[in-house]
């Protein structure tokens, strides 16, 4: 074998090795090129839209749609709710001297009686009828309403009669009670203060009924004579009330005052019945908007006015507020439109699409 024949296979193997290396190099180059293209495509910014389209989209995103209300002239009222009990306007008592035991009750609460009608009978056991002293005058009632009689047992029987015609509105005794004896801590306290004890019967002399209420100290100076109230009984009956006697002082312990309302019609509420009254304590009339349209910063109030689709921030001076409405005393005129729900999303100079949603003060 010649030398050439011996070298020919070696040359073929070298060519095969070179070809394989070239193929691997080409494959690697192709992969690298593909990666470079992909990275370049990802890094390249998106194609810009046409100027007219971009401008329109920016305009639409900038003009937020907001609800606005129109300021109007109205009144803001502040009400106070007080509670109490109905009582007869004119009352008198039928009294019983001390030391008598009640044996019979002839009438009850709510009964209508005539002048001189028997109300109860009582007896003082073991006492001599002739020794029975006439009863002392009482703060309420009439001496003529008491008539001592000789009891069959030798004691003194006492009959209490109605001093006037009317309706029994309170009964403060029962069979077995002894007149003048302390029945409760309340009676003892009244005696200590020098006040006469409650008579066995309280009679309403007329048909007029008043509501006596407890007034919180916050409203004592705001409920004035002649103010009209809406009175509602515990049964849901509604009547008109008028302040006849406003609270003039406040109890230091309870922080409550006492006021008196007349009730019309009087038959709507019975004496002794629980009732509540809603009375107007303040009124402020003028420019009114919803309270949600006012914002506060560092103690200063302001509104966001919408004029020509542009938001303007305007300081205002506020007055009374109640039931979602607030009085604007300065800074806003009737008919001007403000953002209904003010907030940090809007700033002065923003362009908005205003939609009228409500008339303020409605």
Q: How far apart are CA 113 and CA 89, in angstroms?
A: 17
CA 110-112-113 angle, to 5 degrees, is 130
The CATH number assigned to the domain holding 352 equals 2.40.420.20
pLDDT of residue 91: 78
79: closest CA among 252, 208, 232?
232
**Do 266 and 289 sit in the same domain of this protein?**
no
The pTM of the whole model exceeds 0.85: no
Residue 142, classed as helix, strand or coil, is coil
pLDDT of residue 123: 94
Give how many domains the chain has, as a whole number: 3
Q: How far apart are CA 329 and CA 313, in angstroms?
A: 17
248: closest CA among 227, 230, 225?
225
pLDDT of residue 360: 52
244: closest CA among 268, 228, 265?
228
The CATH number assigned to the domain holding 262 equals 2.40.30.170
pLDDT of residue 199: 87
pLDDT of residue 60: 47
**Do 144 and 235 sit in the same domain of this protein?**
no
pLDDT of residue 144: 43
pLDDT of residue 355: 92
Going by DSSP bridges, is the β-strand pair 64-70/352-359 parallel, antiparallel, or unpaired? Answer: parallel
CB 361 within 8 A of CB 74: yes
| Tokens coding 178 | 């002894």
- Asked if residue 6 is part of any domain, the answer here is no
- Asked if residue 214 is part of any domain, the answer here is yes
149: closest CA among 126, 168, 122, 176?
122
265 Cβ neighbours under 8 A, 6+ residues apart: 239
341 Cβ neighbours under 8 A, 6+ residues apart: 67, 292, 293
- Asked if residue 43 is part of any domain, the answer here is no
pLDDT, tens digit, 9 for 90 and up, residues 229-245: 999 999 999 999 999 99
Q: 290 pairs with which residues across the strands?
A: 325
Q: Which residues of the chain have pLDDT under 50?
A: 37, 39, 47, 52-60, 127-144, 150-151, 184-194
pLDDT of residue 190: 44
pLDDT of residue 140: 42
The CATH number assigned to the domain holding 108 equals 2.40.50.100
**Do 132 and 187 sit in the same domain of this protein?**
yes
What are the distances in angstroms from CA 192 to CA 137, 189, 195, 196? 19, 5, 8, 10
**Do 182 and 96 sit in the same domain of this protein?**
yes
- Asked if residue 42 is part of any domain, the answer here is no
Q: How far apart are CA 167 and CA 178, in angstroms?
A: 24
CB 333 within 8 A of CB 46: no
Q: How far apart are CA 121 and CA 128, in angstroms?
A: 17
Structural domain of 237: 80-86+209-282
CB 197 within 8 A of CB 180: yes
DSSP 178: B
Domain final residue, candidates 162, 183, 204: 204
166 Cβ neighbours under 8 A, 6+ residues apart: 92, 112, 113, 203, 204, 205, 206
- Asked if residue 35 is part of any domain, the answer here is no
């Amino acid at each position: 074998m010649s030398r050439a024949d011996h070298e020919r296979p070696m040359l073929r193997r070298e060519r095969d090795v070179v070809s394989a290396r070239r193929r691997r190099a080409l494959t690697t180059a192709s992969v690298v090129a593909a990666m470079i293209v992909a990275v370049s495509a990802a890094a390249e910014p998106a194609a810009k839209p046409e100027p007219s389209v971009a401008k329109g989209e920016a305009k639409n995103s900038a003009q937020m749609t907001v609800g606005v209300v129109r300021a109007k002239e109205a009144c803001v009222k502040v009400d106070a709710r007080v509670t109490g009990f109905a009582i007869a306007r004119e009352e008198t008592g039928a009294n019983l001297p001390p030391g008598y035991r009640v044996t019979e009750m002839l009438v009850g609460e709510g009964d209508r009686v005539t002048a001189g009608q028997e109300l109860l009978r009582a007896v003082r056991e073991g006492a001599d009828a002739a020794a029975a002293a006439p009863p002392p005058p009482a703060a309420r009632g009439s001496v003529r309403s008491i008539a001592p009689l000789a009891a069959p047992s030798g004691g003194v029987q006492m009959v209490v009669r109605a001093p006037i015609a009317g309706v029994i509105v309170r009964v403060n005794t029962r069979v077995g009670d002894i007149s003048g004896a302390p029945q409760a801590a309340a009676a003892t306290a009244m005696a200590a203060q020098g006040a006469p004890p409650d008579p066995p019967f309280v009679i309403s002399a007329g048909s007029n009924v008043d509501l006596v209420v407890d007034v919180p100290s916050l409203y004592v100076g705001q409920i004035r004579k002649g103010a009209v109230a809406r009175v509602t009984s515990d049964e849901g009956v509604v009547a008109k009330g008028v302040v006849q006697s406003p609270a003039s002082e406040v109890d230091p312990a309870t922080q409550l005052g006492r006021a008196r309302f007349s009730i019309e019609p009087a038959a709507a509420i019975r004496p002794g019945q629980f009732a509540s009254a809603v009375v107007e304590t303040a009124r402020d009339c003028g420019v009114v908007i919803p309270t949600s349209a006012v914002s506060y910063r560092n103690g200063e109030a302001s509104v966001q006015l919408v004029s020509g689709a542009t938001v303007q921030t305007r300081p205002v001076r506020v007055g009374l507020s109640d039931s979602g409405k607030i009085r604007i005393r300065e800074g806003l005129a009737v008919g001007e439109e403000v953002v209904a729900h003010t907030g940090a999303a809007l700033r002065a100079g923003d362009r908005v699409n205003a939609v009228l949603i409500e008339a303020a003060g409605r």
